[in-house]
Structure 1
């Protein structure tokens, strides 16, 4: 059985021109900035599309990040003996408005979390800057917690991700 959706790194074959999620900053990123960030090795953007069509219906970007230990909750801070801990930054996550309400945002998020904790590079957590309260609530629903001093900067530990993926 063919998958209903494919998620893969952004490439020249992917059609981003019609993408519209309703947030201009996110629309502009996929249409203009994402490929530049990939060429510069600043972030990797993964796109969701149907196998039979190159039209992008959703995307997210991942890049390297470091969390200052002082920003972590006390229980985690006590276990870490470093000034910074490695993390992956979920820089953006967006879904074309024609696909809202189909739980595809959750599918993109889980794919991003799986890729972030793969063993090629050690990360203790995944960090995201929620664009607004609605986005923050979406991430919190999946176990993300707020970092100190940043009301919309959230994180989820690799251990929590592994538990989430395991079901």
Structure 2
């Protein structure tokens, strides 16, 4: 059975490869340090039969947004700067790519972000896509590209809540 848990020292980070050296290196060299320093949280997808083998991971962090960069209908609702949550990284090991694990982790990240919003103020959930294909992937979940930065996307809090409600049905 698949489960998502906080990255620990016991997880096999060295055995993970998604095909993107930047993401692999982050997991292997930096993710645990960022957890320890309170900078971000990295969660790993594992199979209960092999609980130390990482099938995928995602990293959540907070960020501050200059609201003038948002689409106009959102920018005017908020002060000049506003707090948000950010999906800093999302990766699936090459062996398991294109099998829905990214969507499973994104759904979990969205649930966690909505839970965060119930305890601290945030205006939404952001992600920086690596390329056009990744941008299109996030758009299918309701993320909206920022006008001046087409690879940066925003999921407004209301849309996030609707998406999580739909996932829970």
Normalised to the residue count of structure 2, the TM-score between the two structures is 0.92
Residue number in structure 2 paired with 1:164:
163
CA distances 1:77-100 after superposition (whole Å, capped 9, x unpaired): 2222x1112110110000001111
- Once residues 126 and 32 of structure 1 are traced to their aligned partners in structure 2, the CA distance between those partners, rounded to angstroms, is 25
Residue number in structure 2 paired with 1:58:
56
Tell me the SS of whatever aligns to 1:143. coil
Pick from 71, 84, 90 the counterpart of residue 73 of structure 1: 71
Residue number in structure 1 paired with 2:111:
114
Pick from 33, 41, 47 the counterpart of residue 44 of structure 1: 41
Tell me the SS of whatever aligns to 2:99. coil
What does 1:1-167 align with in structure 2 at a 5 Å threshold? 4-53=1-50, 54-80=52-78, 82-118=79-115, 119-167=118-166
The offset of 1:120, in angstroms, is 2.4
- Once residues 124 and 5 of structure 1 are traced to their aligned partners in structure 2, the CA distance between those partners, rounded to angstroms, is 30
Uncovered stretches (5+) of structure 2, i.e. residues with no partner: none
Tell me the SS of whatever aligns to 2:25. helix
Which structure features the higher share of strand residues?
Answer: 2
Tell me the SS of whatever aligns to 1:56. strand
Tell me the SS of whatever aligns to 1:109. helix
CA distances 1:88-115 after superposition (whole Å, capped 9, x unpaired): 0110000001111211100000101110
Tell me the SS of whatever aligns to 1:110. helix
30-39 vs 87-96, which moves further: 30-39
Q: Is the 8 A contact 1:117 1:123 kept in 2?
A: no
Deviant stretches of 4+, over 6 Å: none
